[in-house]
A and B are shown apart, each in its own frame.
Chain A
């Protein structure tokens, strides 16, 4: 494998379902600390791409590297999480019957075995980490509230917080602002921007105003491969992108 400086590196990845190519020779990279937005019409392969990176779907061909040395195609889903890739799904799934702080506690990095968890005590350092993440996601006041009581936006932030507990180097965030109020969208934008730099963040999103407000580099997917790439303005004025979006 060639040496590169990317955090994540996909090369000619192809996935087909019954002959339909969900991903077609897709190549892209994500740099360390970068905030990358991926947009594209329905069926462009955005979710499949996330599935490949997180090990849920195995590609027919191609390579996927995390850093220079970790071949993600050889790892299980759990090993990929442990390697430092966190994924936030579209629909928020927090543990409804556990408190916000307990949700974060379960997301702490560390040994996950039954017998370890039986005797586990939350150390001062772990407690500190929980407090820190609570303040990043702005839920310090709600830490003793059950997950099910949270508003939609708060659930999304809690879930991002759960990803942060594991200190991931790469965050994959699927449609974070769907169903959010304008205030919540604004807060989410601030949150994601503040996370980039210390983490690589990949956001898949439909909301163009939101993408414009956070993105430095945008990739447009179409029929399983990269259609256009660059700044938001450049991408929006790209004639091929206009054709794909208007042609639908």
Chain B
């Protein structure tokens, strides 16, 4: 655990640094100074941290429970849409068509009243609840059917891809009531604070840092509990765990629901910072990218997922700017290289990880015993 502790300490230190330094560099340093962190930079960091939460949600189920979901972006997007609906209602009569109730796209479609599922989204607490409840409920229903039918491994990965793809197609339709392929944008303010002001952006960043830290602590608590050990047991020997009398399906289901809720909150924080949500967020590639972040950072460590998400996305920002045509090749190459040469990801490079730690804890006598056994077998 020593390496895990070290990774954790680093993570917390960096998060605190970001939460304190980024606002100061943005708000207090004069615009002319080279040290000033631009508002664009603030938003970029906020975006990376939302992705880090998404990666955390992937690691919780993939790294600890062996469930490879290739549809995490669906939960992220649902949380984002819930936030988007609140932000759309906040626009009120300031839209292009000036309708006090209906968002612009509904006026454009000639709708006369708000669809039933839009009611309540003008209240922030309700919207907040839906940001977690909508993805959670989808995961609960989908997971209940999938795990109960003992769909696992690659089959689960495929149907989660299908799930997010199906949702993308559905959200593209205008008559779904979610703005079709344009989605939601042109947000004005959140809880009365101007979304375009630096102060609001800085606060949003700090809330994202807090949400990431909170999600990390929840995951940390779960994975460190007996339930977490059962999850790892399921990952390594599912039928053995079932045979010990554990309701494997229920462990998978609750881990999946928690992971969906975390992804949903990440999506909800993402939308006000990037200023748009549309159906392309459901694209299957987004879910796959999230899995790659976790693989790069090192699965089954939590902090590795966070580091992987931030580093890969930083590389993405840089490469898509400098060499746009290389990015997808670079991403693919990265995944292949990590799988081949770094199966434990970057976290595996930390000194004193799992294997070594137990090497140290190994009773001195047992090692020669082990060797002797091997010799005798020959």
Residue total for B at the interface (Cβ-Cβ under 8 A): 34
The one of B227, B244, B354 that contacts A107, using a Cβ cutoff of 8 Å: B244
Complex Cα gap A114–B243 (Å): 16
Given contacts A114-B230, A117-B226, 4 further A-B contacts (CB under 8 A): A118-B226, A119-B225, A145-B363, A181-B373
- A16 to B241 CA separation, bound complex (whole angstroms): 29
In the assembled complex, the Cα of A117 lies from the Cα of B234 at a distance in Å of 14
Query: Which B residues lie within 8 Å of A94 (CB)?
Result: 237
B245 touches A112 (CB 8 A): yes
Contact A149 B225 (CB under 8 A): no
Interface size on A, residues (CB 8 A): 40
Distance of B275 from chain A, by nearest CB (Å): 38
B-contacting residues, A70-106, CB 8 Å: 77-78, 81-82, 87, 93-99, 102, 105-106
A155 to chain B, nearest CB (A): 11
Q: List the interface of chain A (C-beta within 8 A of B).
A: 77-78, 81-82, 87, 93-99, 102, 105-107, 112-115, 117-120, 122, 141-142, 144-146, 149, 151-153, 162, 166, 179, 181, 183-184
A58 shortest CB reach to chain B, Å = 17
**Contact: A152 with B232, CB < 8 Å?**
no
* Minimum C-beta distance from B64 to chain A (A): 10
Report if B369 contacts A (CB, 8 A).
Answer: yes
Q: Which residues of A contact B361 (CB under 8 A)?
A: 144-145
Report the nearest B residue to A162, measured CB to CB. B244
Which residues of chain B have C-beta atoms less than 8 A from A183's C-beta? 376
Q: Are B358 and A118 in contact (CB under 8 A)?
A: no
Segment at the interface with A among B117-125, B246-254, B286-294, B323-331: B246-254
A95→B236 contact, CB < 8 A: yes
- Say whether, besides A96-B236, A98-B229, A118 and B373 are in contact (CB < 8 Å): no
Q: Is the CB of B247 within 8 A of A114?
A: yes
B358–A106 CB distance below 8 A = no
B216-241 CB contacts (< 8 Å) to partner A: 222, 225-227, 229-230, 232-233, 235-237, 240-241
* Complex CA distance for A212 and B233, rounded to whole angstroms: 36
CB-CB nearest in chain B for A140: B363
B96 close to chain A: CB less than 8 A: no
A-B contact pairs, 6 of them (CB 8 A): A98-B232, A114-B230, A117-B230, A141-B363, A162-B244, A183-B376
Closest residue of chain B to A82 (Cβ to Cβ) is B245
For B17, what are the chain A residues with a Cβ–Cβ distance below 8 Å? none
Tell me if B245 and A149 are in contact (CB < 8 A). Answer: no
B365 at the interface (CB under 8 A from A): yes
Q: Is the CB of B247 within 8 A of A95?
A: no
A114 to B246, CA, bound (A): 9
- Give the contacting residue for A152; candidates B230, B244, B363, B373; CB below 8 A: B373
Q: Are A105 and B373 interface neighbours, CB within 8 A?
A: no
Q: Is the CB of B362 within 8 A of A118?
A: no
Given A96-B236, A105-B226, A146–B245 Cβ distance below 8 Å? no
Give the nearest-CB partner of B239 in chain A.
A93
Q: Decide if B230 touches A106 in the complex (CB within 8 Å).
A: yes
The verdict on B28 contacting chain A, using a C-beta distance below 8 Å, is no
Q: A106-B244, A113-B247, A181-B376 are in contact. Are A118 and B225 (CB under 8 A)?
A: yes
How many angstroms from the CA of A119 to the CA of B224 in the assembled complex? 10
How far is the CB of B133 from the nearest CB of chain A, in Å?
Answer: 19
Known: A81-B243, A112-B247. A97 touches B236 (CB 8 A): yes
